Amino acid sequence: MREAIDAHFAEAVAALRAGPAGDPRRAVRAGGALTGERCLELFDAQLGSRHLDLAARELRERGAGFYTIASAGHEGNAALAAALRPTDPAMLHYRSGAFYLERARQVPGQQPLRDVLLGVVAATDEPIAGGRHKVFGHPALAVVPQTSTIASHLPRAVGTALAVDRARRLGVAGAWPADAVVLCSFGDATVNHSTAAGAINTACLCAHRRIPLPLLLVCEDNGWGISVPTPPGWVRAAYGDRPGLRWFEADGCDLAAAYDAAVAAAGWVRERRAPAFLHLRMVRFLGHAGSDAEVGYRSPAEIAADHARDPLVATARLLVEAGVASPAELLGRYEAKRREVLGVAAEVAGRPQLASAAAVTAPLARSRPGRVAAQAARSAEPAARARAFDGRLPEDQGPLTLAQALNGALADLLALHPELLVFGEDVGRKGGVYGVTRGLARRFGAARVFDTPLDEQSVLGLALGAGLSGLLPVAEIQYLAYLHNAEDQLRGEAATLQFFSQGAYANPMVVRVAGYGYQKGFGGHFHNDNSVAVLRDLPGVVVASPARPDDAAAMLRTCVAAARVDGRVCVLLEPIALYHARDLHAEGDGGWLAPYAAPERWGGAHVPLGRGRTYGEGTDLTMVTFGNGLRLCLRAARRLEDAGVGCRVLDLRWLAPLPVEDLLREAAAGGRVLVADETRRTGGVAEGVLAALVDAGFGGPMARVASEDSFVPLGDAALRVLLSQETIEQAAKELLGR
């Protein structure tokens, strides 16, 4: 079936009246900068994009294609690619076909029509996602693939823009040229999303504070979010006059106007190192996607009226009126492009798709333990360490608390890696709510250790952008409950980037999260959150849960090493209640302190990913636990041993990947397994531990104790829902049949 816009283009261009021959080196419109030659090049990208859309529909009809969201009507975004450099990182709206084709034209050796069609047919030889998704992305074009979640790329774009100039200031090699502009484009409905609003607010705040942020935000406004109209004038009303955000606008259907506006906006951002917002008025053809029956919410007359705004016809008119080409010539180009695209489509249809689960999951969790161990063993030279610690090395300070050990490890890592940044709410001058980052801002400077705005999505966005840009971010989320309001930045963005780019792009990061309960009734749910299910099911994401000071320092180093070496995304869950704990069994015994686990080079030990730690050698019972549970279990084990029961306690240390090998060995040694899980009964860690035992055919008795499926209340009531030592002891006795 021939699409209406296809027929309309032919009719409208045939009806154009040829002007006298003009000089293609001159502007197609007096007063503008777009020459006839350049206009023809961009027209070629626009034609290619349009025919890709038409071909995607044909492939879909034949059952050979799997994606039909079109760029039709948005082809003016070719002007953005023309105004930018092919080395400027681009995070693109899903209607960016013309941008992609024009950018690819600027880089030798590209086959962009083929790239896009390989994506449509989900072929394994598609260059970025390898058949995992249809995205615009290519490492040679600095186009970073985006997820389908609208707005979720804006925090990363802000972080990337910040990282461009921060890398230069720190004198470290970033991933982008020092004068790069970061492009982030999106639709009009997207500006209403809180993720977009928060990210743009953070950009404004940076500009207000004169923090360099070369970010070009482009809203491609077609007036619709699927079936919901955006009120005319709304985007301008919302963003036209924001502090620190320079506004540009143009008719995106008019290539000459869009080009001038894009050149002005890109130049402004590049020179000022400050954010700008370019509003391009577009039109949406072919509905929202192939499956969207637009006639259900718009009249046929209204839909047809849009054809008058076809940006391809508008470009043809520019060329014809400037005497650069005749209507017949342009129609010839249109049909030639159709043949070219359909030729490629025929060639790629039926290309092999991913054929096994192993093939699909291959990019998820790159893991090179030998290289990670070697990296984790490294440390700064003695003189640099002495400076980093003001001459007081942590290994000379006697036994430390968990908070002190983490503080020492962060300083060691900052001293070792000039590209490492530590940031979050209150981590700078205050040194963190619990003092974990105390003194770091003073010793390493505000460019490396700093406070962020109070917006967890922006904190994670900064990590996403910094990691992508060659920096090594260690972000802090103040409380686990507040990770939950931003977790899509971890789930949708951080965890998927390697998956959708086959590792061509990565966002190495460590996110430190203060969490878990047991704060003696203080703080209630939000400060005692024990929900970790949402982290454990993220494919490829490492979840570390150190309980003791020596493990905490060593595991933080492992996480940073895994991020740096393999691009891993690591979450370090830090038990708040143990930050300042000193004793284990009795007041003053110092049982929860430990000497600083210095880097291996100075005698410290490395904790490999997914390796647990065993306490005790008893053979009657194995307790499996982590976090605060370790302390409870060690105390319970002491009492059980007094009663003649031989216990061993396995601290899992890593909640993802679970230390299955250690688990099976210790389960066999104890014969019976009691899992003590301070998180919830539903979705808690015990579910994974017991399932791993069952999967492996462990035949001994098993039981679990966990906290209740509840939020944690204030005061002594907290003890009614949290796992307790008594509960553990009682369950152990039942399991032993006593």
Ligand X SMILES: Cc1ncc(C[n+]2csc(CCOP(=O)(O)OP(=O)(O)O)c2C)c(N)n1
Structure tokens belonging to residue 286: 């072919």
Query: Which of 39, 40, 122, 150 lies at the binding interface for ligand X (CB under 6 A)?
Result: 150
Query: Which of 14, 21, 62, 148 lies at the binding interface for ligand X (CB under 6 A)?
Result: 148
Query: Which of 8, 38, 51, 95 lies at the binding interface for ligand X (CB under 6 A)?
Result: 95
- Is 143 or 554 the residue whose CB approaches ligand X more closely? 143
How near is the Cβ of 240 to ligand X at its closest, in Å?
A: 17
Per CB under 6 A, 149 contacts ligand X: yes
How near is the Cβ of 188 to Mg ion at its closest, in Å?
A: 4
- Pick the stretch among 220-228, 400-408, 550-558, 637-645 that binds Mg ion (CB under 5 A): 220-228
How near is the Cβ of 453 to ligand X at its closest, in Å?
A: 21
How near is the Cβ of 153 to ligand X at its closest, in Å?
A: 11
- Is 220 or 412 the residue whose CB approaches ligand X more closely? 220
How near is the Cβ of 106 to ligand X at its closest, in Å?
A: 24
- Pick the stretch among 28-36, 39-47, 218-226, 652-660 that binds ligand X (CB under 6 A): 218-226
- Is 149 or 519 the residue whose CB approaches ligand X more closely? 149
Sequence-separated (6 or more) residues with CB below 8 Å from residue 718:
517, 518, 519, 521, 528, 712
468 in Cβ contact with 175 (< 8 Å): yes
Q: Return d(Cα 24, Cα 22) in angstroms, integer.
A: 6
Structure tokens belonging to residue 141: 């074009």
524 in Cβ contact with 714 (< 8 Å): yes
509 beta partners: 569
SS3 assignment, position 622: strand
245 in Cβ contact with 200 (< 8 Å): yes
Contact of residue 454 among Mg ion, ligand X, none (CB under 5-8 Å per partner type): none
Structure tokens belonging to residue 76: 């003016």
Per CB under 6 A, 466 contacts ligand X: no
What would the DSSP string read from start to end of 362-409? TTS----HHHHHHHHH----HHHHHHHTTT--GGGS-SB-HHHHHHHH
Contact string (CB under 6 A) for ligand X, positions 53-92, x = contact: ----------------------------------------
- Is 188 or 456 the residue whose CB approaches Mg ion more closely? 188
515 beta partners: 575
What does the DSSP 8-state code read for residue 143?
B
- Is 93 or 448 the residue whose CB approaches ligand X more closely? 93
How near is the Cβ of 189 to Mg ion at its closest, in Å?
A: 5
CA nearest 64: which of 118, 10, 132, 27? 118
- Pick the stretch among 57-65, 146-154, 316-324, 516-524 that binds ligand X (CB under 6 A): 146-154
**E-assigned strands of 208-320?**
215-221, 224-225, 228-229, 246-251, 276-281
- Is 212 or 287 the residue whose CB approaches Mg ion more closely? 287
- Pick the stretch among 217-225, 433-441, 548-556, 559-567 that binds ligand X (CB under 6 A): 217-225
- Is 149 or 361 the residue whose CB approaches ligand X more closely? 149
Per CB under 5 A, 187 contacts Mg ion: yes
- Pick the stretch among 79-87, 147-155, 538-546, 555-563 that binds ligand X (CB under 6 A): 147-155
Kindly report whether the peptide bond that precedes residue 549 is cis, defined as omega within 30 degrees of 0. no
Concerning whether 527 is annotated as a catalytic residue, the answer is: yes
- Pick the stretch among 185-193, 242-250, 393-401, 576-584 that binds Mg ion (CB under 5 A): 185-193
How near is the Cβ of 467 to ligand X at its closest, in Å?
A: 22
Q: Return d(Cα 705, Cα 479) in angstroms, integer.
A: 24
Q: Return d(Cα 202, Cα 194) in angstroms, integer.
A: 12
Contact string (CB under 5 A) for Mg ion, positions 276-295, x = contact: --------------------
Q: Return d(Cα 470, Cα 563) in angstroms, integer.
A: 11
The interface with ligand X within residues 173-202 (CB under 6 A) comprises 186-190
- Pick the stretch among 2-10, 187-195, 293-301, 330-338 that binds Mg ion (CB under 5 A): 187-195
Which residue in 527, 580, 585, 606 is the catalytic one? 527
Cα dist. 10→17, 559, 586, 635, 708 in Å? 14, 59, 87, 82, 68
102 in Cβ contact with 34 (< 8 Å): no
Per CB under 5 A, 306 contacts Mg ion: no
Please report which residue ranges of 496-548 form alpha helices under DSSP H.
Answer: 497-501, 524-527, 533-536
Q: Return d(Cα 285, Cα 294) in angstroms, integer.
A: 10
- Is 27 or 151 the residue whose CB approaches ligand X more closely? 151
Query: Which of 88, 126, 165, 188 lies at the binding interface for Mg ion (CB under 5 A)?
Result: 188
403 in Cβ contact with 580 (< 8 Å): yes
Contact of residue 226 among ligand X, Mg ion, none (CB under 5-8 Å per partner type): ligand X
Q: Return d(Cα 489, Cα 157) in angstroms, integer.
A: 12
Per CB under 6 A, 640 contacts ligand X: no
Contact of residue 39 among Mg ion, ligand X, none (CB under 5-8 Å per partner type): none
The interface with ligand X within residues 523-582 (CB under 6 A) comprises none
Structure tokens belonging to residue 677: 């899980």
Q: Return d(Cα 594, Cα 630) in angstroms, integer.
A: 15
419 beta partners: none
Residue nearest to ligand X (CB): 187
Per CB under 6 A, 131 contacts ligand X: no
Contact of residue 548 among ligand X, Mg ion, none (CB under 5-8 Å per partner type): none
- Pick the stretch among 221-229, 293-301, 550-558, 616-624 that binds ligand X (CB under 6 A): 221-229
Q: Return d(Cα 135, Cα 128) in angstroms, integer.
A: 8
645 in Cβ contact with 670 (< 8 Å): no
Contact of residue 227 among Mg ion, ligand X, none (CB under 5-8 Å per partner type): none
**E-assigned strands of 613-662?**
613-615, 621-625, 647-651, 654-656
Query: Which of 224, 285, 518, 592 lies at the binding interface for Mg ion (CB under 5 A)?
Result: 224
How near is the Cβ of 224 to Mg ion at its closest, in Å?
A: 5
Residue 210: what are its φ and ψ, rounded to 5°? 60, 35
Residues touching ligand X, count (CB under 6 A): 15
What is the dihedral sign for C-alpha 359, 361, 363, 366? negative
Sequence-separated (6 or more) residues with CB below 8 Å from residue 2:
none
Other residues' Cβ atoms within 10 Å of the Cβ of residue 268: 18
- Is 288 or 378 the residue whose CB approaches Mg ion more closely? 288
The interface with ligand X within residues 280-299 (CB under 6 A) comprises 284, 288
What does the DSSP 8-state code read for residue 472?
E
Structure tokens belonging to residue 185: 């484009």
The interface with ligand X within residues 222-281 (CB under 6 A) comprises 222, 224-226
Contact string (CB under 5 A) for Mg ion, positions 46-65, x = contact: --------------------
459 in Cβ contact with 422 (< 8 Å): no
Query: Which of 49, 222, 404, 469 lies at the binding interface for Mg ion (CB under 5 A)?
Result: 222
Binding site for Mg ion (CB under 5 A): 187-188, 222, 224
Binding site for ligand X (CB under 6 A): 95, 148-150, 186-190, 222, 224-226, 284, 288
Residues marked as catalytic = 527
